[in-house]
Amino acid sequence: MYLSPVDGINIGRSNMRDLYNRPKSLENWINKVNTQLKEPDRSDVLMLVEHLKEQEKSALWIIRYLSAILLLRNKLTKPFRYCSKDEIKELLEWMKTKKYKKSTHEKFRVILKSFYKIVYGNNEYYPENVKWFSVKVSKEIRDTEKTLDTAKYLEEEEIERLIEFAPSIHKKALTVLTIRNNVAYWLTYYSEPEKYQKFLSSAEQMISSFKFLLSDEKHSEVVQPSFHECKLSEYNVKINYPSTWTRIYDNSNPMVKAIFQFQKEEGAKHATVYVGIDDTVGDKTLENIIENNIAAMRQERNDFKLIESTPSTLSGFPANQMTYSVREIKCLHITAIKNNVAYTVVYAAEPEKYQKFLSSAEQMISSFEIL
């Protein structure tokens, strides 16, 4: 669900404050299409984007299409245009295994059918490989839904109209809402209309400073730690690590230059971050390295499972970020190349501890610098 903050009462859409910069968000999603998809999918999805723009669909609407299309493409073994009816059936069967709500299933179906109609049916007819299924889900899926459907919330446009036509409002307000782990959090700034602008900047800074604190054993570390700097001068890199973690010295793998670990009691390894440097990559591209890494892990470990692989950045350089599981360990693996040297930071933890230390690991990755 997406809710846009509102900066006034009885105003039209053109005066709405867009704190989330949706045009920029759309640009980022189009960049994902260009970097994550190969031909012919790239051209086909960009054709969809142009059509939606011509229909004057909102940036938010287009982003919903792209996020769904990229997820679905990741589950297919061939480009959309070459998928058979049976392969689309397999895709929808995979969807049934996910614990999505009824509205989410139906949105994915609408987007998939619309995509095929617009791009492969000249926006006139549904091709045979998608014509057969309904956008409405079966009773079996509806019966498994036990929580509140997000479709029962008001849509963004409905909220705007409620505010616009409210008969008597004495306060001017800005509200930001987000959801994490099925819990909704909202922040609201309100003031008398004549005082609203005066304090708006301070309110926006307060909203921007909002973070999910490391508050419970299940999801994060109990205390927000301070950080120490570790500078590896011989390799021209540095990284910050939490004061609650310990640097481990282990030379068993020549490519691993530093290891940091959170350890509560002797022998209990709860979370580890590795810094790896490989100066033997030669003229290999980042894509070559990632493909080789995935192939090697799949060959060595039959329990290797790739969860996600997406473009990212490391120390300001283009990078690849993978999430995968192997040997009952969940890993976040990010690699970048500079001057024919590959730099990698890996966060590894037991699945039940992964979320707990993820925030600290992400801060370590963000602090990593190639000097």
Backbone angles phi, psi at 239, to 5 degrees: -150, 145
Of 90, 91, 28, whose CA–CA distance to 59 is shortest? Answer: 28
Token pair of 59 as six digits: 């940036």
Q: Which of 331, 356, 350, 324 is nearest to 276 (CA)?
A: 331
Please count the other Cβ atoms lying within 10 Å of the Cβ belonging to residue 189: 19
The pLDDT, as a whole number, for residue 218 is 45
- Estimate to the nearest angstrom the gap between the alpha carbon of 152 and the chain centroid: 24
> In whole angstroms, how large is the CA radius of gyration of the chain?
24
pLDDT at 205 (0 to 100) = 78
Containing H/E element for 26?
helix 22-36
Question: Quick one: the chain helix, strand, coil %, rounded to 5?
Answer: 40, 25, 35
pLDDT score of 50: 93
Quote the Cα angle for 199-204-206, to 5°: 95
d(CA 222, CA 154): 35
Could you tell me the two tokens for 146?
């036990």
pLDDT value of position 139:
64
Per-residue pLDDT of the chain (371 residues; tens, 9 = 90+): 222 233 332 323 334 444 456 788 888 889 999 999 999 999 999 999 999 998 888 888 898 899 889 999 988 999 999 999 999 999 998 888 877 777 788 888 999 999 999 999 998 899 999 999 888 877 656 555 544 444 445 555 555 545 544 444 456 777 777 766 656 677 888 777 778 788 887 887 787 777 765 444 444 444 456 788 999 888 889 999 888 888 888 777 778 888 888 765 444 557 899 999 988 888 889 988 899 888 888 888 888 898 888 888 888 888 889 999 888 889 999 999 998 899 999 999 988 888 888 888 888 998 999 88
Q: For position 157, what pLDDT does the model report?
A: 52
Give the C-alpha separation, 294 to 292, whole Å.
6
DSSP annotation of 260 reads E
d(CA 176, CA 157): 15
Residue 9's pLDDT is 28
Structure confidence at residue 233 (pLDDT):
87
Task: Tell me the per-residue pLDDT of 164-196, one tens digit each, with 9 for 90 and over.
Answer: 444 444 567 777 777 666 566 778 887 777 787
pLDDT at 17: 45
- Backbone torsions φ then ψ of 345, nearest 5 degrees: -125, 130
Q: Find the farthest-apart pair of alpha carbons in the chain and give their distance in angstroms, rounded.
A: 72
pTM: 0.43
Bridge pairing between strands 341-349 and 329-338: antiparallel
Q: What is the pLDDT of residue 154?
A: 53
Rounded to whole angstroms, how far apart are CA atoms 333 and 336?
Answer: 10
**What span, in angstroms and rounded, lies between the C-alpha atoms of 242 and 240?**
7
The neighbour count for residue 274, using CB atoms within 10 Å, is 21
How many whole angstroms separate alpha carbon 162 and alpha carbon 302? 55
- Chain-centroid distance of CA 53 in Å reads 24
